[in-house]
């Protein structure tokens, strides 16, 4: 059985404990590799390597850091299909999706920040002719990056790339549920000539590896993406140590459809925004509010399309939807369908496990599910499900839909469908949300701020926001009078 290894001080190494965790293929339900069950001693070794590498890396000219990162991009592109297949097998998503989204984005994350750092300028503030202020932006030192399983390499590199571009050294932990592409990235970093200790990847469980990253005094900032309760746990540990924190957390995003929308475009995009990546994207719209004038038309067309969606294993090129990431996650998602029924909901399509045949019989497949008849404030409509399950609800007025859309503890992303430009701006203004898409979904310009309000997080990633997070401003004031 293939054993993944940690990447510490430029080398691939076994965990100190020599213990391993089973890694499952969600498409088959079978164990197919072993993950280091690292502990705090492995994290400490990674921190030591990062501390040692920091002075040199932080003083390496940004053009040179950029060139090494562009070499990583080249190698990601060279290994494109291998990475996409690994991601699909590890996560359960269709391989075409890993090709189109995950690996493409991992390459562009490195490329974007390798070039962004060349344009990241200091600010200067003149005080008449007497004083000049300039603001240095220095790297922080050793930083921690912790990422989830839904977009494994995509979100891992979204943190690592700005951190190392800005001159920091990193101790990173991918999700133990989907560690494979992070392991392949360590091989790529070695081949690209990234100096030892600049990036260290420690595999293992959250309460062991993640907890040590949050706690370790030599790690001065933590960039985390994952669930809201894990984010709260990290904040409890890291905040009293005054570490910088960037927390990208859960969501329960509204998709608001007005009756004047471009119906066909809305319908096609709503299929994707509901079920892409098995509904396991923090930006998926899980609560669909439809204005009453087109509610029945939408319901009929949507349910028909959803019921035809092909669920299959990740290597089936015709799969529109793959397996959800784990058995426990499948059980959690299906338990929400039962809860929805108890809360008075009607399952219009889906709601059950899909059983494939042959070697895929043990896989974790769920039929895409549409539920109606629920109140906006029931648990099904308030709690994050993070699977291929959406609810549909009618509304009459803007005030009513805004109240329902803003009623959850979350505020990550929202989608609005209307041809009325004034209304679109008005609604965007009133939504409690870090991101609003109007007549589109998941369109990402990497320069824009990314993140949520309320319990969806603290801080923003993306563009210069990320470079600001990974640097410390220092103002220098000079008398020139
Ligand atoms: P999770 O919180 O269970 O795990 C995320 C990471 O944190 C994993 O690497 C895990 O090992 C680690 N971890 C667990 N316990 C820890 C601890 N005590 N200390 C430190 N680290 C710990 O989340 P998940 O199930 O992997 O991912 C799904 C969640 O991520 C969903 O809630 C989803 O909305 C969220 N998410 C948010 C965004 C965003 O940008 N806002 C993007 C993707 C996913």
For the stretch 21-48, pLDDT in tens is 999 999 999 999 999 999 999 999 999 9
Check residue 98 and give its pLDDT: 98
Q: How many residues does the chain have?
A: 481
Going by pLDDT thresholds of 50, 70 and 90, the confidence category of residue 80 is very high
Can you tell me the mean pLDDT for 456-462? 97
**What CATH number should be reported for the domain holding residue 405?**
3.40.309.10
Do 8 and 145 belong together in one domain? Answer: yes
The total number of structural domains that make up the chain: 2
Q: Which of 12, 389, 402 is nearest to 182 (CA)?
A: 12
Contact 401, 382 (CB under 8 A): no
Q: How many helices (H) and strands (E) does the chain have?
A: 16, 25
Q: Is 49 in the same domain as 191? A: yes
Cα angle value 118/122/124 (rounded, 5°): 150
pLDDT at residue number 129:
84
Residue from 39, 148, 152 whose mutation best tests the ligand 1 pocket (most atoms within 8 A of CB) = 148
Same domain as 176, residue 50: yes
Residues 153 and 279 in one domain: no
Ligand 1 atom closest to residue 174's alpha carbon, by position in its atom list: 9
Q: Which atom of ligand 1 lies closest to the CA of 384?
A: 32
Tell me the C-alpha distance between 347 and 303, whole Å: 10
- Give the confidence band of 128 by pLDDT, cuts at 50, 70, 90: confident
In CATH, what number is assigned to the domain containing residue 55? 3.40.605.10
Confidence (pLDDT) at 383: 98
Asked about 304 being catalytic, the answer comes back as no
195 with 284, same domain: the answer is no
Q: For residues 143 and 168, what is the distance between their CA atoms, to the nearest angstrom? A: 7
How far apart CA 7 and CA 234 sit, in angstroms, is 23
In this structure, are 286 and 399 located in the same domain?
yes
Same domain, 9 and 41: yes
On whether both 352 and 218 belong to a single domain, the answer is no
Average pLDDT of the segment spanning 200-208: 98
Beta-carbon contacts of residue 443 (< 8 Å; ≥ 6 apart): 437
User: Active site residue: 169, 220, 261, 282, which one?
Assistant: 282
Based on the domain organization, do 319 and 223 belong to the same domain? no
Q: Are both 198 and 282 inside the same structural domain?
A: no
Residues 210 and 292 in one domain: no
Q: How do residues 312-351 score in pLDDT, each as one tens digit?
A: 999 999 999 999 999 999 999 999 999 999 999 999 999 9
The strand pair at 6-8 and 11-13 is best described as antiparallel
Active-site residue, 384 included = no
Q: What is the pLDDT of residue 328?
A: 98
Supply the pLDDT for residue 104: 98
pLDDT digits (tens, 9 = 90+) for 236-279: 999 999 999 999 999 999 999 999 999 999 999 999 999 999 99
For 105, the token pair is: 């984005």
> Is pLDDT at 481 greater than 90 in this prediction?
no
Domain that holds residue 28: 2-249+456-479
Q: Which residues line ligand 1 (CB under 6 A)?
A: 146-150, 155, 173, 175-176, 206-207, 210-211, 214, 225-227, 230, 233-234, 248-251, 282, 384, 386, 412, 452, 456-457
Pocket test of ligand 1: the residue of 23, 109, 230 to mutate, having most ligand atoms within 8 Å of its CB, is 230
Model-wide pTM > 0.95: yes
pLDDT tens for 396-435 read: 999 999 999 999 999 999 999 999 999 999 999 999 999 9
Instruction: Say if residue 73 is in the same domain as residue 172.
Output: yes
């Amino acid at each position: 059985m293939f054993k993944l290894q940690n990447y510490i001080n430029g080398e691939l190494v076994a965990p100190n404990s020599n213990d391993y965790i089973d890694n499952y293929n969600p498409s088959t339900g079978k164990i197919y590799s072993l993950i280091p069950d690292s502990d705090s001693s492995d994290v400490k070794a990674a921190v030591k390597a990062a501390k040692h590498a920091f002075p040199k890396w932080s003083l390496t000219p940004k053009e040179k850091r950029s060139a090494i990162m562009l070499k990583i991009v080249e190698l990601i592109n060279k290994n494109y299909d291998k990475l996409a297949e690994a991601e699909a097998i590890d996560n359960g998503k269709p391989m075409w999706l890993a090709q189109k989204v995950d690996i493409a984005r991992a390459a562009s994350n490195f490329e974007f920040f390798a070039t962004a750092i060349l344009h990241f300028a200091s600010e200067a503030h003149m005080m008449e002719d007497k004083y000049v202020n300039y603001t240095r932006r220095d790297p922080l030192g050793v930083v921690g990056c912790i990422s989830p399983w839904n977009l494994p390499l995509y979100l891992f590199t979204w943190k690592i790339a700005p951190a190392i571009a800005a001159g920091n050294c990193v101790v990173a932990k991918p999700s133990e549920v989907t560690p494979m592409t992070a392991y392949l990235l360590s091989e790529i970093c070695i081949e690209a000539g990234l100096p030892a200790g600049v990036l260290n990847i420690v595999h293992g469980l959250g309460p062991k590896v993640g907890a040590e990253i949050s706690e370790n005094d030599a790690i001065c900032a933590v960039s985390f993406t994952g669930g809201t309760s894990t984010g709260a746990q990290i904040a409890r540990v890291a905040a009293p140590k005054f570490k910088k924190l960037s927390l990208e957390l859960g969501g329960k995003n509204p998709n608001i459809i007005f009756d004047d929308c471009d119906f066909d475009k809305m319908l096609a995009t709503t299929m994707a925004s509901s079920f892409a990546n098995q509904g396991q994207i923090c930006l998926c719209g899980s609560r669909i509010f439809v204005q009453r004038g087109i509610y029945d038309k939408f319901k009929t067309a949507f349910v028909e399309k959803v019921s035809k969606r092909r669920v299959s294993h990740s290597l089936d090129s015709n799969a529109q939807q793959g397996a959800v990431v784990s058995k426990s996650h499948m059980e959690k998602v299906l338990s929400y369908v039962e809860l929805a029924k108890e809360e008075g909901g009607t399952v219009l399509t889906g709601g059950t496990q899909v059983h494939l045949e042959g070697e895929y019989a043990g896989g974790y497949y769920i039929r895409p599910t549409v539920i109606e008849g629920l109140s906006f404030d029931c648990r099904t409509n308030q709690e994050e499900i993070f699977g291929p399950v959406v609810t549909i609800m009618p509304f009459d007025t803007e005030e009513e839909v805004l109240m329902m859309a803003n009623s959850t503890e979350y505020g990550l992303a929202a989608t609005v469908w209307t041809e009325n430009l004034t209304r679109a701006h008005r609604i965007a203004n009133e939504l409690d949300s870090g991101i609003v898409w109007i007549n589109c979904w998941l369109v990402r310009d990497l320069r824009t701020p990314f993140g949520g309000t309320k319990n969806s997080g603290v801080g923003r990633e993306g563009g210069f926001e990320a470079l600001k997070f990974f640097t410390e401003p220092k103002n220098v004031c000079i008398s020139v009078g």
